């Protein structure tokens, strides 16, 4: 039997896609990395995933897991490989409200989990623009961050346990819901953020939290990022750490967004250099119960604090959302930032992080470095200011300038004690950065782990780890 015959016998011929049927899997959201896989297989359960991995491994063919394919770094590039799609493994096995736990399969779409948890007054607090298509397996494999890391942490901190099919075809059952388990190495952390290079995540036990009963959301213009951080710290103290998002958009980015989406309104009547989208989530009844006039205490408190800072002169302008439609409009500006760059290639798409108090220093440094490299370059910047993650994109005049500009961005971040990869992963696009930037001993240990679990190097090869 051929490899495809064996796969068809294992999971059904209708779930072994070839030729033009693989087209929608062949590229990720950026469309930068496109490849024709040998086939796309769609197993229905963990046992079928294990069968597929054994069959493909015996044939000596590469295996590339794929979820919603919303990545930005080429992590699902699959030339001459068998892609394993987890889309049919989309069951929410159980929601346990009392323990605030969800047990889900890897193909569950993030928005679907949000809706199911909301029915119990809970939420899985990971959120970002691609939540309508991104799947849990992909979120775990890239250790996705999103806009709520400030309050809830990244995906790694929201995962209790995993089920993983190893390159050998064995099933590793780490599906605990324990808050404490000190019985040896914490193996699940090997697979979170590994981008499928060590195994295929098939299920997870995830942490749920109370869903806020009310939100206070505002666009705020300030004089400087120092003033923005002062606002963040005052809000955290006033709300007991209930700030969910604190997103920074420079004036130039807002102008580019308005130029791209001509039907959309700018946040203010004039352009400011520092624009912050802030959101506070209230769970306590005292903060979320409407007053007789319909006002919400959490919104009133935010308005009061913003009013005080307006009088002090640190806040220059503010608009507080008074309806869900106004809140959605504010978030729409933030979440469609990437569309602006994608519509105007060539561009550099960097994802770096620095300590919170060094974001301004990073931006000041790039303000001098970028024009020196490309006088025609236009920076498009958004930042999860609450956790120091800067999405530094730049429209550049030539593809030849991609590497020099990216190197300058990474140099600037690393000089400030930062990282060249904050939340998008490594995939293919950052292999050169890993080779140049990552501690050599760390790379050596990573290669040893890879060799121990995947000695034939068949699991998502050419991703994350540069060749020695």
Helices (H), ranges, 240-279: 251-260
User: Closest Cα partner for 158 from 124, 182, 188, 127?
Assistant: 124
Residues sharing a CB contact under 8 Å with residue 450, sequence separation 6 or more, in sequence order: 197, 198, 457, 465
Look at residue 351 in the predicted model and tell me its pLDDT.
Answer: 94
In terms of Cα–Cα distance, which of 387, 386, 379 is closest to 349?
Answer: 379
d(CA 373, CA 239): 44
Please give, one letter per residue, the 3-state secondary structure of 440-456: HHHHHHHHHHHHHHCCC
Tokens for 335, please give them. Answer: 């979440």
Residue 112: Cβ-neighbour burial (10 angstroms; 0-12, 13-18, 19+) = middle
Instruction: Tell me the CA end-to-end span of the chain in Å, nearest whole number.
Output: 36
Q: Which domains does the chain have, with CATH numbers?
A: 3-85 (3.30.43.10), 92-210 (3.30.465.10), 214-335 (3.30.70.2190), 346-423 (3.30.70.2740)
- Assess contact for 117 and 193: CB atoms under 8 A: no
- pLDDT for the residue 341: 75
Question: What pLDDT is stored for residue 311 in this prediction?
Answer: 96
Q: What is the DSSP string of 40-91?
A: EE--SSHHHHHHHHHHHHHTT-EEEEESS---SS-TT--TTEEEEE-TT---
**CA pair distance 406, 456, nearest whole angstrom:** 32
Q: What's the pLDDT score for residue 62?
A: 98
Residue 159: in which H helix or E strand, if any?
A: strand 159-165
What whole-number distance in Å separates Cα of residue 159 and Cα of residue 47? 22
**Residue 342: predicted pLDDT:** 74
378-422 pLDDT tens trace: 999 999 999 999 999 999 999 999 999 999 999 999 999 999 999
- Kindly report the length of the chain: 468
Residue with tokens 């959120």: 127
Strand duo 62-66 + 81-85: pairing? parallel
**pTM for the predicted model, two decimal places:** 0.94
Q: Which of 101, 61, 89, 35 is nearest to 201 (CA)?
A: 89
CA angle 236/241/246 to nearest 5° reads 65
pLDDT at 64: 98
Q: Which residues pair with 204 in a beta bridge?
A: 104, 162
Quote the pLDDT of residue 273: 96
Nearest partner of 232 among 222, 243, 217, 220, judged by Cα:
243
Residues of the chain with pLDDT under 50: none
Write the pLDDT tens digit of every residue in 317-362: 999 999 999 999 999 888 887 788 777 778 898 999 999 999 999 9
Q: How far is CA 441 from CA 4, 217, 467, in A?
A: 40, 45, 14
- Find tokens 């060249």 and name the residue: 420
179 three-state secondary structure: coil
Distance of CA 218 to the CA centre of its chain: 23
Residue 58 exposure: Cα atoms within 13 Å on the Cβ side? 13
From CA 319, how far away is CA 27, in angstroms rounded? 39
Q: What is the pLDDT at residue 143?
A: 97
| CA atoms 143, 147, 153, 159: torsion sign | negative
């Amino acid at each position: 039997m051929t490899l495809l015959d064996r796969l068809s016998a294992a999971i059904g011929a209708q779930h072994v896609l070839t030729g033009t049927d693989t087209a929608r899997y062949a590229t990720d959201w950026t469309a930068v990395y496109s490849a024709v896989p040998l086939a796309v297989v769609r197993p229905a359960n963990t046992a079928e995933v294990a069968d597929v991995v054994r069959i493909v491994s015996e044939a000596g063919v590469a295996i590339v897991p794929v979820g919603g394919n919303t990545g930005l770094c080429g992590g699902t590039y699959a030339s001459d490989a068998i892609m394993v799609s987890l889309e049919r493994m989309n069951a929410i096995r159980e929601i346990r409200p009392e323990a605030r736990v969800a047990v889900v399969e890897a193909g569950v779409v993030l928005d679907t989990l949000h809706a199911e948890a909301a029915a119990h007054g809970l939420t899985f607090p990971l959120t970002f623009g691609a939540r309508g298509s991104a799947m849990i397996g992909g979120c775990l494999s890239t250790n996705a961050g999103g806009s709520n890391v400030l309050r809830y942490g990244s995906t790694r901190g929201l995962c209790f346990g995993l089920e993983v099919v190893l390159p050998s075809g064995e099933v590793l059952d780490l599906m605990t819901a324990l808050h404490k388990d000190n019985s040896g190495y914490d193996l699940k952390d090997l697979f979170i953020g590994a981008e499928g290079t060590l195994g295929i995540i098939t299920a997870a036990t995830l942490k749920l939290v109370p869903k806020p009963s009310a939100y206070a959301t505002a666009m705020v213009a300030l004089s400087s990022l120092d003033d923005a951080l002062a606002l963040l710290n005052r809000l955290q103290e006033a709300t007991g750490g209930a700030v969910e998002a604190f997103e920074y958009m420079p004036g130039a980015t807002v102008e580019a967004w308005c130029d791209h989406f001509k039907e959309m309104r700018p946040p203010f009547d004039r352009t400011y250099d520092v624009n912050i989208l802030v959101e506070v989530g209230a769970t306590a009844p005292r903060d979320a119960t409407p007053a007789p006039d319909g006002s919400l205490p959490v919104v009133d408190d935010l308005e009061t604090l913003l009013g005080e800072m307006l009088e002090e002169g640190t806040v220059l302008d503010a608009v507080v959302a008074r309806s869900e439609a106004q809140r959605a409009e504010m978030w729409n500006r933030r979440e469609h930032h990437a569309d602006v760059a994608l519509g105007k290639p060539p561009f550099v798409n960097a994802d770096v992080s620095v300590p919170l108090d060094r974001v301004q220093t990073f931006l000041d440094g790039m303000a001098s470095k970028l024009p020196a490299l490309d006088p025609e370059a236009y920076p498009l910047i958004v930042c999860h200011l609450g956790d120091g993650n800067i999405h530094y994109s730049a429209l550049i005049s030539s593809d030849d300038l991609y590497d020099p500009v990216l190197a300058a961005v990474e140099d600037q971040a690393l000089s400030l004690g930062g990282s060249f990869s904050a939340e998008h992963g490594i995939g293919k696009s950052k292999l050169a950065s890993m080779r140049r930037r990552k501690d050599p001993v760390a790379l050596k240990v990573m290669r040893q782990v890879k060799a121990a679990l995947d000695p034939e190097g068949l699991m998502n090869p050419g991703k994350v780890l540069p060749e020695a």
